[in-house]
Structure 1
Amino acid sequence: MLTFLARRLIASFFIILGATFIAYILMSYAGDPLNAAYNIQDPTQRAQAIANLTRVLHLDVPPVARYFIWLKGIGGCFVGHCDFGQNVQLQSVGSNLGSALGNTLKLVTAATVVAIVIGVTVGVITALRQYSGLDYTVSFLTFLFFSLPVFWVGILLKEVIAIKYNDFLQGGAHYNWAIIIVVSLIIGFLAYSLVGGAPRRKLLIGAAAAVVAFALNWYMSATAWLLDPRLGIVVVGILALCIAYGMTALMAGTANRKALYSALTTAVLGIVLYQPLQYFFYNGMNFLKLLGLLVVAVIAAVVIGYLFGGDDRGLSARTAAFTAVLVGLVIFVDRLMRAWQTYSNDPAIGGRPLATTNPSTPNLDGDFWIQTLDTVTHLILPTLTLMLISLAGYSRYSRASMLEVLNQDYIRTARSKGLTERTVIVRHAFRNALIPLATVLALDVGALIGGAVLTETVFGWKAMGSLFQDGLTNYDPNPVMAFFLITALVAVVFNILADLAYAALDPRIRVGSA
C-alpha cells in the first residue's frame, strides 16, 4: 500500500509540474498584464504603476524564468510559507484564495454528495425497473438535463424557483387546487412506478400515495405551513421508526430480528431524547457541539447493536449506526425549520428567504441556526444547478453498471442458491456496480470545479470562479495559476482515492501487488 501511494504521489508530482509549466507559459503569452496601467492618464502615476507591476509580477524576466520564480513561492507550502504571488491590483493571491476556495469547496461538496446519493439511487432503481414507465421518464429527464448548458439552468432556476417561490411566500403560501392535484398525481405515479408486484397492488399503492400527498398539500396550504415549518415530535417519531425499518430491510433484511430490534431501539432512543435535545440546541450551539452529538449518537447505536448480539453483531451495529445518523439528521432538520420564520422575517432577508446571489447575507445577525439556515438557503440554487447537470451522468452510469452486473453468472448463482432478492442486490450486485462509478467520480470532481466557474458567475459568488475569471480578463497569471493548481491537486487526489476505492470494492484488486 505504501509503495503504491509513493509511486502515485511521485508520478502525480511530475504531472502537476509539467501541467503547470505549460499553463504558465500559455498564460504569459495570452496578453499583457500592464494593459490597465497603460490607460492611466497621469504620466507619473502611469510610470509608477508600470514599474510596480513589472517588479511584483517579474515581467522583466523571460516567462520560463518567471515560472520558476512562481514555483519557488509555491514550494514554500512544504515549509508552511505559501506564496501564490500578487495580482495586478497588488493584492495577495493567497489571502483571496482562502475565502474563494472555502466557498467553492462548500458548493462543489454539496453538489457532489447530493448528485451521488440521488444519481446512484435513481440509477439502481431504474435498472431494477428496466423498461418501465419510471425508467423511460428518468431516462428522458437525465438526457434533458445533461444536454442543458449550466448557465442557462442557473438563470432558469433563479427565475422559476427563487423569485417565484419568494413571491409565493409573500402572497401567503396558499396553493391553488390545480397545483395540489398535479403534485399529488406526480407522487402517485412515482409510487406506482417504484413498487413491484402485481398491477393491482401497484395501483393501490400509487392511489394511496396520491391521496396522502393531496391531504398533506391541502393541510400545508390551509395552515400556511411553509411560513413557519416544523415537524414536531409526532412526525419525527414516525419518520424515525420508518428509517429504522427501512435501514434494516436494506442492510440486513427484516428477518434478522437482532438487527431490526437494534435499529428500532436506536430510533426510540432518538424519540425519547427529542425534547431534551431541544433545550441543548438553544444553549450556545455550534458546529463542534453538533459534531460531538453525532459521534455520541453513533457510539450509542453501535453499543446497542452489540448488546443485542446475534449471529452477526457487526451487522446489527452498522444498521443501528446508520439509523442513528439518519434519525439525527431528521431532528437537525426539524430544529433548523423552527428557525425559518425568524430568519425569513429578519430585516436583512425582507421576507424573501431563498437567496439568488452571494454565498451569505451581509449584515445578518443571529445564532448558529440562523447562520446555518442562511448558508443552506444560499447553497440551494447553485447546488441544484450543478447537481442537475452531474446527476444525469451518475444515474446513467450506475444504471448501466447495475444492469451489467445483474447479467453476470455469479448473480444467477446467488439466486439459484436461494438467497433473497435483497441479499442478491445489496450484497452481491450493488457493491460491484459501484466500481466504475469510482472512476466517474474522480473525473467529475474536476469537471464540477470547472462548471462552478459559470455557476458562481450566475449566482454572484465570490469564489474560485471569480478569481479565475478576473485573472483571465486582466491577463493576470497568478490568480489563474492558483485556480489551475488547486483544480489539478483535487483531480490528482481523487484519482488516488479512486484507486484505493477499487481495492475496497473489489477484493480481487490489490493496490500493492505487482
Structure 2
Amino acid sequence: MLAFAVRRIVYSVPVLIVASFIIFWLGSASADPLAPLREKNPPAPQNVIDAETVRLHLDQSLIPRYFSWLGGIFTGNFGPSVVSTASIGHDLGDRFLVTIRLIAVAMVIALVLAVLLGVLTAVRQYSKFDYAATFVGFLFLAMPAFWFAILLKQAGVSFNLAVGSQAISTIGQASVPPPQGTGAYILDIIGHMILPTISLALISYAAWSRFTRASMLEVMNSDYVRLARAKGLSRSQVMVKHALRTALIPLTTVTALDIASIIGGAVVTENVFQWKGMGDYLVQSIRMNDVYATASWLLLAATVVIVFNLIADLLYGVLDPRIRYA
C-alpha cells in the first residue's frame, strides 16, 4: 500500500507543476495590475507607476517571474499584492480555513445522504420510495447553485421575520463581534453554517445518489452477490460486505472529479451568504487585477483537486485489493 501511495504522489507532482505554470501564464495574460493607476483621473505620476512596476516584478519577463513566484511559495511568499500592505499567504490561509470547513461538512453530509438513499432506492427499485427519492434528486440536480442559495437565504430571512428574532443566521460566517465563551462561539459558527451547508450539500448529493443507485443495481445483479446469497449469508451481510464496497468505487471517482465543481459552488454560495472566504477573496482579486493573488488562489484550488484525486486513488486500493496489488 505504501508503494502504491508513493507512486500516486510522484505522478501528482508534475501535474501540479504544469498546472501552476498554466495558471500563472493565464493570470498574467488576462490582467494588468497597473491598469487602475494608468486610468486614474488625474493620472498617477510616472515615478509611482515605475515603482509599482518594479515592486510587482512586471519589469521581468514571464519565465523569471514564474520561477520567482513558484520558489517563493515554498517559503510562504506568494508574491506581492496590488495592495502593498496585504500578505497573500496570510489572507489565503485565513480564507481557506473558512471555506474548507464549509466544503468538508457539506461533502460529508452529501456523501452520507447519497450512500444511504442510493442503497435504499436500489434495494427498493421501482417502489414509491424510489420514485419519490428520484424526483427529489432530479429536482435538486436541476437547481442552479446560486438560485437555490438565494431561495434558502430568503427563506431564512422570512422565518426570522415571522418569529421576530434572528433564529437563523443568513449573513456572514460568524457574528461581529463574536460571542464570548468557547461554547457560544462554536454554536455561533454552526448557526452561520446551516444554510450554506444545506445549499452546497443538497446540490452535490443529488448527482451522487444517482451514481450510487446505478452502481448498486449493477453490483446486486452480479454473479458473486448471487453466490453470496446462495451460500446463506444474510441480506445485510451481502449488501454491506459484498455489494456496497464494490459499488462505492464509482462514487469515489465521481466525488473526486466533482471537487472542482464543489469549490466553484462554494464560491457562489459564499458570495450569496456574504462569507469572507476564498470565494470573496477570488472575486476581490479579479476586480483589482491582482495577478499574484488570483494565481495563488487558483494554485491552491488545483492543489485541493489533486489531493482529493490522490485520496480517491488510495481509496481504490482499499475498496478493491486488485488495484493495490496491480
TM-score after normalising by structure 1: 0.61
Residue 122 (structure 2) aligned to one of 110, 123, 127:
127
| 1:65 equivalent in structure 2 | 64
Q: Which amino acid aligns with 2:123?
A: L
The change in CA–CA distance for 1:53 and 1:141 in structure 2 (over 3 A counts) is farther
- 1:7/1:424 CA distance change after superposition, 3 Å: closer
Partner of 2:194: 380
Aligned equivalents of 2:200, 2:250: Cα separation in 1 = 21
Q: How does 1:111-260 map to 2 (within 5 A)?
A: 111-160=106-155, 162-170=156-164
Query: Which digits, 9 at most, give the CA deviation of each residue in 1:245-273, with x for residues without a partner?
Result: xxxxxxxxxxxxxxxxxxxxxxxxxxxxx
1:3 Cα deviation from its structure 2 partner? 3.2
Q: What is the deviation of 1:48?
A: 4.8
Match of 2:79 in 1: 85
Report the CA distance shift for 1:11/1:419 in structure 2 as closer, same or farther (over 3 A): closer
Deviates more, 1:437-446 or 1:458-467: 437-446
Q: CA deviation at 1:11?
A: 2.1
1:53 CA displacement: 2.5
Where does residue 465 of structure 1 map in the other structure?
A: 279
Match of 2:239 in 1: 425
- 1:354 Cα deviation from its structure 2 partner: 1.1
Greater relative CO (CA pairs within 8 A, separation 6+): 2
Please tell me whether the aligned partners of residues 127 and 399 of structure 1 are also in contact (alpha carbons under 8 angstroms): yes
Question: Counterpart of 1:106 in structure 2: which amino acid?
Answer: R
1:109 aligned to 2:104? yes
CA distance in structure 2 between the partners assigned to 1:451 and 1:365 by the alignment: 29
Whole-Å Cα distance in 2 between the matches of residues 23 and 364 of structure 1? 37
Q: How many residues align?
A: 325
Q: Which amino acid aligns with 2:25?
A: I
Kept after mapping to 1: 8 A contact 2:171/2:274: yes
**Contact 2:173–2:275 (CA under 8 A) maintained in structure 1:** yes
Question: Counterpart in 2 of 1:474?
Answer: 288
Structure 1 residue runs of 5 or longer lacking an equivalent are: 171-350
1:31 & 1:368 partners in 2: Cα distance? 43
1:491 Cα deviation after fit: 1.4
Inter-CA distance 105–27: structure 2 relative to 1 (3 Å threshold): same
8 Å CA contact retained: 2:117, 2:209: yes
Larger Rg: 1
**Matched residue type, 1:7:** R
2:255 equivalent among 441, 461, 472: 441
SS in 1 for 2:78: coil
**1:499 partner SS:** helix
Residue correspondence of structure 1 range 301-320 to structure 2 within 5 A:
none
Tell me the distance in 2 between the aligned counterparts of 1:53 and 1:145: 48
- Structure-2 change in CA distance of 1:46 and 1:156 (3 Å): farther
Q: CA deviation at 1:169?
A: 2.4
Q: Which amino acid aligns with 1:468?
A: L
* Identity fraction in percent: 43
- 1:48/1:158 Cα in 2 relative to 1: closer, same or farther (>3 Å)? farther
CA RMSD of aligned residues (A): 1.6
CA drift at 1:502: 1.4
**In the alignment, which of 64, 85, 89 is matched to residue 94 of structure 1?**
89
Read off the aligned partner of 2:62 and give its amino acid letter. P
Whole-angstrom CA distance in 1 between matches of 2:181 and 2:170: 22
Pairwise CA distance, 1:153: 0.7
Corresponding residue SS for 2:322: coil
2:22 corresponds in structure 1 to 22
Report how far residue 49 of structure 1 moved: 4.0
Query: Is the 8 Å Cα contact of residues 8 and 313 (structure 2) preserved in structure 1?
Result: no
- Given that 2:179 and 2:188 are in contact with CA atoms closer than 8 Å, whether structure 1 keeps it comes out as no
Q: Which residue of 2 aligns with 1:40?
A: 40
> Which amino acid in the other structure matches residue 23 of structure 1?
I
Task: Judge conservation of contact 1:112–1:445 (CA < 8 Å) in 2.
Answer: no
CA contact (8 A) 2:5 2:314 kept: no
Give, in angstroms, the shift of residue 121 of structure 1.
0.6
Contact 1:40 1:46 in 2 (8 A): no
Question: Structure 1 residue 368: deviation in Å?
Answer: 1.9
- What are the ranges of 5 or more consecutive residues in structure 2 without an aligned counterpart? none
Tell me what 2:53 maps to: 54
Q: Aligned-pair distance for 1:444?
A: 2.0
Q: Once the 2 structures are TM-superposed, how far is the Cα of residue 9 of structure 1 from its aligned partner?
A: 2.1
CA offsets per residue over residues 317-337 of structure 1, 9 Å max, x none?
xxxxxxxxxxxxxxxxxxxxx
